[in-house]
Amino acid sequence: MVKSKVLVVGGTGYIGKRIVKASLAAGHTTYVLQRPEIGLDIDKLQMLLSFKEQGAQLVKASFSDHRSLVEAVKEVDVVICTMSGVHFRSHNILLQLKLVEAIKEAGNIKRFLPSEFGMDPALMGDAIEPGRVTFDEKMEVRKAIEEAHIPYTYISANCFAGYFVGNLSQLGTLVPPKDKVCLYGDGNVKVVYMDEDDVATYTIKSIDDPRTMNKTVYLRPPENIMTQRELIAKWEKLKGTQLEKISISKQDFLSSMKEMDYAGQVGVGHFYHIFYEGCLTNFEIAQNAEEASALYPEVRYTRMDEYLKRFLN
């Protein structure tokens, strides 16, 4: 089977750079959008040039120039957008509506993967403010895609290990606590943790797979479904120590939002849905969806005890 040509939009970002790497590794002709808006951001430019050295092709286009977007899209078969949707970095979800318009006009795209990669927004209709804006905007993009009859795949990648595992799912830090760890409630709600490189691998495997056409693909490899307590226990076993555990009630956790800025309030809302409500695991995967590790059993995904070893002294 001829491998699709891929355009990555947001290729210098946290997930985007991994998507570019996975696409090249899988043998796809890979294009990365180079936007003039990067200006003097030397880190982004150097990353783009490194992609070029690895075999990617850079294509210049801007969201403020519709024609340039259309021409970029015409170069490829698949578009993967990885623009940031988190408020503490940048929040650009609705910019994708311009990309949808370009894809619609180009008329050649076999698959579009919009910037999702977290919780399934279709299941978050009851999300609390202000964090629900993330899901509402993703659903607005989905509506535009489906009304334009653009073939799609939505990737639900759950909890990125970089933000949820090394810190034992603590807010405000990225590294393991030394003495005390906060539990959300009793810490026994099942969540799903994913190594970001595995997210990219599964994403690229889905783009030419007819089984994933017009479906949501959940990344829920069985050994990475665990409670916060189970994650902490893995760290304690590796470290050979016991942490003091402090349980935070649902009410106290939500009350903590009052002292936070907007981005912090969004984050707390998302943590609440994950660790108190269990929004990543409290449903069965529907018939119009797929689970990635079942589709691609050949992928040796990273287990979280392996991931945690990098934090050992």
Distance CA 183, CA 245 (A): 6
Both tokens of residue 237?
Answer: 């076993």
The H-or-E segment that residue 182 falls in is strand 180-184
Both tokens of residue 249?
Answer: 């009630």
Distance CA 100, CA 69 (A): 10
Can 138 be counted among the known catalytic residues?
yes
Active-site pick, 44, 138, 205, 234: 138
Residues 220, 192 contacting (CB under 8 angstroms): yes
Q: What type of residue sits at position 256?
A: S
Distance CA 182, CA 163 (A): 15
Q: Which of 27, 76, 32 is nearest to 50 (CA)?
A: 32
> Count of residues for the chain?
313
Pairing between β-strand 78-81 and β-strand 57-60 as defined by DSSP bridges:
unpaired
Distance CA 132, CA 109 (A): 30
Tell me the catalytic residues.
Answer: 138
